[in-house]
Structure 1
Amino acid sequence: MPTKREIPESEGVFFITFTNYQWRPLIAICNGYDIVYNWFDYLKDQGHYILGYVIMPNHVHVLIAFKNCNKSLNTIVGNGKRFMAYAIVSRLQEMKQDILLSELSGAVSGKEKERNKKHEIWEPSFDWKECRNNVFILQKLNYIHDNPCKGKWSLVNAPYEYQHSSAGFYITGHHTTYAVLNYFELGDIDLTKL
């Protein structure tokens, strides 16, 4: 999956954002939060660390500490988006969301169709920012955790109330739906080696 810019580093802490096609709430429609958690599990199995996240109805913000695994970080994120897309399509098919699936199929460009792509689930690019210090990490965590409380969403009154977020852990000290690594613990981890 393309990105606006290539991530030049092969390890480090990155704030990653990716969005459903045309900002449609596809994650919510198919109750696909577990699909994103499965990707997080895969990343952990590969030696990476999830430091913080929020899974919104139509987008994901995540702070990931990538260990050097001799793979492009763009490839890692792109492959994750692709496998999550397969799972979302499968769930939409089970739900018989035929009209929506037809629209998502019609959005695939001719070039992508030649590569056997069948549905447009995500916006083609993803955004990233490298987080080189704890001040920047904390800034991004606060942004992530406030997401469900602000703007058009207003899903909860307080960040720790949102189930699909690491806010509960950072505010109360207890993991909610998904366990993350506290960013303070990164000081003891060498990200240059798997």
Structure 2
Amino acid sequence: MHLQHARQGQMETALCYFYTDTIQDFKPLLADDECKQICIDSWKYLTERKLITIYGYVIMPNHIHLLWMMNDLNGKESPAGSFAKFTAHRFKQLLTIKDPESLQNYHSKKTDRAFQFWKRDPLAIVISSKKALLQKLDYIHNNPIQEKWNLADLPERYRWSSADFYLTGKNEFGILTHYDE
């Protein structure tokens, strides 16, 4: 199977992507549930406006994985760009209040921004078959139970993933669409 890689802003609409975005320098920013909720809030906004469709996700301590589709631009920017911008802004707000010293860990050397939370150029791979989608969904759901992470004993017991949705149908955050829909 041929895999197509795309840059964040260059994902095409109506194609499903396996998407990975990582926190700068692999810092465990997303170990904080408030930071995880910021990601959920952004996805909720984008799904409610039908700009994205999410088929699967996991929020790990220092990265995220998504199976998603871009449906339309959010104004002039891609939904992925909107997600990165919104979450970075909210991370900065949260850290300013909660842990101002840790904010220094995210100082940017770039002239166009003071802080950098997400690594540049997240991975986006077009999913070209149901088999590939199911393989990536399995990978996403099993990420939290890997020995390296040990975040749950079963995939469906990790709250910050779509595993429970596919087992029980429960869509806790209201952001998921079943891949068969």
TM-score higher than 0.5 here? Answer: yes
Which residue number in structure 2 is paired with residue 14 of structure 1? 17
Cα distance, 1:125–1:10 mapped onto 2, change above 3 Å? same
In 1, Cα distance between the equivalents of 2:8 and 2:56?
22
Which residue number in structure 2 is paired with residue 144 of structure 1? 140
Describe the SS at the equivalent of 1:128: strand
Cα distance, 1:163–1:8 mapped onto 2, change above 3 Å? closer
Which residue number in structure 1 is paired with residue 62 of structure 2? 58
Tell whether the 8 Å contact from 1:54 to 1:165 is kept in structure 2 after alignment: yes
Cα distance, 1:182–1:30 mapped onto 2, change above 3 Å? closer
Tell whether the 8 Å contact from 2:22 to 2:119 is kept in structure 1 after alignment: yes
Give the aligned residue type for 2:165: F
Offset of 1:53 from its aligned partner?
0.5
In 2, Cα distance between the equivalents of 1:99 and 1:176?
33
Offset of 1:179 from its aligned partner?
4.4
Query: Percent identity over the alignment?
Result: 29
Instruction: Write the deviation string for residues 143-180 of structure 1: whole angstroms up to 9, x where unpaired.
Output: 10000001410111110010001001112333345541
Q: TM-score, normalised by structure 1?
A: 0.80
Tell whether the 8 Å contact from 2:23 to 2:118 is kept in structure 1 after alignment: yes
Which residue number in structure 2 is paired with residue 166 of structure 1? 162
Give the aligned residue type for 2:68: I
Which residue number in structure 2 is paired with residue 45 of structure 1? 48
- Which stretch of structure 1 is more off in the superposition, 82-91 or 42-51? 42-51
Tell whether the 8 Å contact from 1:166 to 1:176 is kept in structure 2 after alignment: no
Structural mapping, 1:105-120, within 5 Å: 105=107, 108-109=108-109, 112-113=110-111, 115=112, 117-120=113-116
Tell whether the 8 Å contact from 1:85 to 1:122 is kept in structure 2 after alignment: yes
In 2, Cα distance between the equivalents of 1:92 and 1:152?
26
Instruction: Write the deviation string for residues 44-92 of structure 1: whole angstroms up to 9, x where unpaired.
Output: 133121111101111111111222x2679x8321221111011011101
Tell whether the 8 Å contact from 1:30 to 1:91 is kept in structure 2 after alignment: no
Q: What are structure 2's unaligned runs of at least 5 residues?
A: 1-5
Which residue number in structure 1 is paired with residue 83 of structure 2? 80
Offset of 1:99 from its aligned partner?
2.5
Tell whether the 8 Å contact from 1:156 to 1:162 is kept in structure 2 after alignment: yes
Q: TM-score, normalised by structure 2?
A: 0.86
- Report the structure number with the largest CA radius of gyration: 1
After TM superposition, what 4+ stretches of structure 1 lie above 6 angstroms from structure 2? none
Tell whether the 8 Å contact from 2:13 to 2:69 is kept in structure 1 after alignment: no
Instruction: Write the deviation string for residues 2-48 of structure 1: whole angstroms up to 9, x where unpaired.
Output: x7576463321111110111111112246311111111112213312
Cα distance, 1:58–1:134 mapped onto 2, change above 3 Å? same
Describe the SS at the equivalent of 2:54: strand
In 2, Cα distance between the equivalents of 1:5 and 1:181?
21
Question: Which of residues 97, 103, 106 is equivalent to 1:104?
Answer: 106
